[in-house]
Amino acid sequence: MRVAEAFRAAFGADPQTVWRAPGRVNLIGEHTDYNDGFVLPFAVPWGVSAAVTPRTDQTIRLLSLQSPGAPIELSTREEATGWARYAVGVLAMLGDRVAGADIAVDGDVPQGAGLSSSAALEVAVASALDDVHGLGLTPMEIALLSQKAENDFVGMPCGIMDQAASALCEEGHALFLDCRSLASRNIPLDLAAEGLSMLIIDTQVHHEHAGGEYAKRRAECESAARKLGVEALRDVTDLAAALDRLQGDERKRVMHVVTENHRVEALIGLLRAGKVSEIGALLNASHLSLRDQYEVSSPELDVAVEAAFRGGARGARMTGGGFGGSAIALVPVDRLDGVQESVSAAYAERGFQAPRFLPAVPAKGAHKIV
């Protein structure tokens, strides 16, 4: 195992434990998390492995196989920079429960596709530290600890979905997560048994204004909730009455959030009925809502979705925050080549940068390797 060998070479002994945690993709439930709504991510086959041995002093030694060079040695947690902040942030959130540590990490999450490599790193390190120190944390506690590390130490205001998916997902399942109560359950999503694959289409485009637009959408939702007298848009029960009280962009945002929560519940209903092959229409509807009501799509995402459907996908939608990033398409395995050819041709015709294709089936959440 590469990460254990690298640990041994760098630190002179075998690691005490090795854990692996995956990245994730969100099947449906987009821009619902910060509205206290529902999401349905699944773990992808790519992730981060963390080899860890605790120390009795406060020294932290870190090695990443993706950042060649000598290990980083820190005498205080505040010295961490770059990728090391994600690992050290977890140590910081554990506070006095842990001292220092020797940590080596090795990841194969495709970069830039929006598959949450940072959450995978945090959850792998947190799981390994929990194991070697016998802290007895639950998977959700590990997810919350990892989210807090990213929020408070790294300074990224992410929701709980990425870390929860990495910590709690089961192979062949998607994770239904209520972002208010944090109640969760794994729902069977056995794509392989149905001859299906989820094709992740990385547009390789990331628009600069995405951060500002994301903050604007969030503010619009909070403003609409105040006007409607609800804690969050998840609490809107009479959509028609709510829309009558709003105008312009806020009206559109409410339409998306409320209907997207309904789509999550409808998709779970299909999965429970064993109708995996019929979820495509809900993916299509989600994309149209994100494009027209939430207005977070991009030309590259729209072309990917339309061309995938023309090429034989059962359904497709943008996934993630939007303004570039990735789309997903539900594709019969025997149509994978045709869908990829269709999307590639559509991109070439418009002069877009060639996309990257990543076929995936739901993988295992965080687990111990050694």
Token digits of residue 25: 């993709």
Q: Give the pLDDT score at 41.
A: 99
What beta strand segments (E) does the chain contain? 17-28, 38-54, 60-64, 72-74, 101-107, 173-178, 184-188, 196-206, 315-319, 324-332, 356-360, 367-368
Q: Which of 198, 214, 194, 218 is nearest to 206 (CA)?
A: 214
Q: With both helix axes pointing from N to C terminus, report the angle between 139-148 and 84-94 in degrees, rounded to the nearest 10.
A: 120
Q: Which of 177, 226, 192, 209 is nearest to 322 (CA)?
A: 209
Token digits of residue 297: 């799509």
The one catalytic residue among 33, 106, 162, 202: 162
Q: Select the CATH number that applies to the domain covering 192-360 from these four: 3.40.1190.20, 3.30.70.100, 1.10.3720.10, 3.30.70.890.
A: 3.30.70.890
Percent of the chain with pLDDT over 90: 93
Of the pLDDT bands very low, low, confident and very high (cuts 50, 70, 90), residue 68 is: confident
Q: What is the tens place of the pLDDT at every residue in 121-156? A: 999 999 999 999 999 999 999 999 999 999 999 998
Task: Decide if 40 contacts 187 (C-beta within 8 A).
Answer: yes
Is residue 162 annotated as a catalytic residue, yes or no?
yes
Residues 143 and 228: their CA atoms lie apart, in Å, by 32
The residue-averaged pLDDT of 330-335 equals: 98
Q: Strands 60-64 and 101-107: what pairing?
A: parallel
Residues 100 and 76: their CA atoms lie apart, in Å, by 9
Q: What is the tens place of the pLDDT at every residue in 38-64? A: 999 999 999 999 999 999 999 999 999
Q: With both helix axes pointing from N to C terminus, report the angle between 280-292 and 299-310 in degrees, rounded to the nearest 10.
A: 160
* CATH of the domain spanning 2-188: 3.30.230.10
Q: How many CB atoms lie within 10 A of CB 80?
A: 21
Backbone angles phi, psi at 340, to 5 degrees: -65, -40
Residues 217 and 81: their CA atoms lie apart, in Å, by 30
Percent of the chain with pLDDT over 70: 99
Length of the chain: 370
Residue 209 has pLDDT above 70, yes or no: no
Backbone angles phi, psi at 190, to 5 degrees: -90, 80
Q: Give the pLDDT score at 210.
A: 67
Q: What is the tens place of the pLDDT at every residue in 246-271? A: 999 999 999 999 999 999 999 999 99
Q: Where are the domains of the chain?
A: 2-188, 192-360
Q: What is the tens place of the pLDDT at every residue in 1-11? A: 999 999 999 99
Q: Give the pLDDT score at 208.
A: 64
Q: Is the dihedral of CA 297, 302, 304, 310 positive or negative?
A: positive
C-alpha to C-alpha distances, 8 to 86, 99, 209, 211, nearest whole angstrom: 22, 21, 44, 40
Q: Produce one character per residue of 201-231: b if its CB has 16 or more CB atoms within 10 Å, e if not.
A: bbbbbeeeebeeebeebeebbeebbeebebe
Residue 69 has pLDDT above 90, yes or no: no
Q: Give the pLDDT score at 212.
A: 85
DSSP 8-state symbol, 340? H
Residues 6+ apart with CB under 8 A from 85: 153, 154
Task: Decide if 355 contacts 323 (C-beta within 8 A).
Answer: no
Q: Give the pLDDT score at 211.
A: 72
List beta partners, residue 60: 74, 101
Q: What is the tens place of the pLDDT at every residue in 230-239? A: 999 999 999 9
More confident: 241 or 207: 241
